[in-house]
Amino acid sequence: MASCFDAIPRYRHSLNTCCIAPQRLIFTRIIVVSIFLIFLPVVAAEPMHTVNLRGGISFTVPLRYGNLRRLGFESETYLGAITCAASDSQTNTNVLLTKHRKPFENSFQALTVYREFVISRLVNHKNVIRLLDAFTPQASEQEFEDVYLVTDRMSGHLGNVPVEYLDHRTLSSLIYQVLSGVYQLHAAGVYHRDLRPSFIGINTDFSLKILNFGLPRTSVEGFVSRPGEFYLHYRAPDAIIGMTFEPGKLDVWSVGCIIGELLRSIVLFPGTDHIDQLVKIFELLGTPESEYMSRVPSANARVFLDNLPRYEGNSFDEIFPDDVFPPTDPGNVNLRATTARDLLAKMLVIDPARRITVEDALRHPYLSVWYDEADVSRGPAAGSYGPEVVEVNRSPAQWKALIYEEIERGTP
């Protein structure tokens, strides 16, 4: 089959026949090739269509994406982001489209979008959401305004799962999958910091994926919490008061809160602000000992903690009695309330020095039925997600160029 390049040598031959000077021949060929390259992106661009959605919102997407339906505002978690369910005719799968309008004009939104690209290149794991596609309907960086991210579409999130439908095998599987995803993120130097039930997508077969990477940090960044930065109910006390310890244990605490909420059908620590959050934690688990208090770096925080009432707290048998767990699995002695409660007791430890690590949690007897050494094999080298990724001191023009370059680079 003849290609468009075939026209060039034929044209050259006709020029040679007419005895045109070599300099003019070279100049003419440059013009022809330049014209071809100018028009090639336009010809190769995938056809798009515009779909009008409720709320006066429109999505301009490739024709492969159809059946667009805007989702509830609960799923639109990031500033300026609009989410839409769709079907992909090329893969015959359901996907989630997220539209970011001029993300480069706001540093937080720009960083959110940029992180999606970076993390998708670092982590490829069945329990972490995949970036399937990314595109913009604008034809050049100068015109660039909108970026669309395409990810797996999940049936729901972990907060929607009724505990009465869970047996111990399913419950232990959910915990294992979350921890496996968290482990792979940590292996890449990524610490989520904002895990919550709605950020863990789940399908009808109980397979799950960790979603959203708006707040991850590296091990070299600070982990002190700032007001309004995250959802407090799943935030570890050591982050709230600014203790420095192994950053991966922040996510372990969050997973413990999520599973505890799933079992009890209520939020474990429903604080209304930073101070109230600490009080709620101490009320349920007890006030830490003085040795813990002495390791709090802020003098003001130590004074505040010392002036709090002393709370005795509750035992884990009281917090998680047998009747909140599924019936014992007769086929596996480890799939029982006692073993599940032991894992929760090791995750929900106020002192991070005594809190279980992700790796040890994956090896806990309650999860032994699912344990696979391949799930705890190291992925990318720790630290791959470096401090340069979270650099926010970029101008809108720099963010624009950076994000546009990622779109052109394509998805993994």
- What is the tens place of the pLDDT at every residue in 12-35? 333 333 333 444 444 445 444 444
List of residues 6+ apart from 259 with CB closer than 8 A: 171, 174, 175, 344, 347
User: Mean pLDDT lowest for which of 220-224, 243-247, 299-303, 310-314?
Assistant: 220-224
Tell me which residue of 346, 370, 369 sits closest to 358, measured CA to CA: 346
Give residue 385's pLDDT band: very low, low, confident or very high (50, 70, 90): low
CB 87 within 8 A of CB 97: no
Which helix (H) or strand (E) segment holds residue 156: the answer is strand 156-157
Q: Evaluate if residue 366 carries a pLDDT over 60.
A: yes
DSSP state of 191: B
- Domain boundaries 156-376, corresponding CATH code: 1.10.510.10
DSSP per residue over 105-138, as a string? GSHHHHHHHHHHHHHHHH---TTB--EEEEE-SS
Comparing 48-153+393-409 with 156-376, is the CATH topology the same? no
Describe the crossing of helices 396-409 and 107-122 by its angle, rounded to 10 degrees: 30
Distance CA 192, CA 216 (A): 4
In this structure, of 19-28, 57-66, 93-102, 333-342, the range with the lowest mean pLDDT score is 19-28
- CATH fold of the domain at 48-153+393-409: Phosphorylase Kinase; domain 1 (3.30.200)
333-348 per-position pLDDT tens digit: 999 999 999 999 999 9
Predicted local confidence at residue 2, as pLDDT: 38
Q: What is each CA distance from 136 to 10, 148, 154, 162, 393, in whole angstroms?
A: 37, 6, 23, 39, 24
Please give the C-alpha separations between residue 391 and each of 108, 162, 244, 319, 394, in angstroms, as whole numbers: 10, 40, 21, 42, 7
- Is the pLDDT score of 84 beyond 60? yes
317 tagged catalytic: no
Please give the Cα distance from 188 to 381 (Å, whole number): 6
> What global pTM score does this model have?
0.82
Q: Is the pLDDT of residue 221 over 70?
A: no
Write down the pLDDT at residue 291: 86
User: 400 with 114: CB under 8 angstroms?
Assistant: no
Domain extent listing, the chain: 48-153+393-409, 156-376
Most confident among 5-9, 24-28, 189-193 (mean pLDDT):
189-193
Token readout for 348 is 């929900």
Q: What is the pLDDT of residue 117?
A: 86
Of 324, 233, 218, 311, residue with least CA distance to 272: 233
Q: Catalytic one among 194, 238, 251, 375?
A: 194
Of the given ranges (34-38, 93-97, 372-376), which has the lowest mean pLDDT? Answer: 34-38
pLDDT of 388 higher than 70 = no
Q: How confident is the model at residue 119 (pLDDT cuts 50, 70, 90)?
A: confident
pLDDT of res. 270: 95
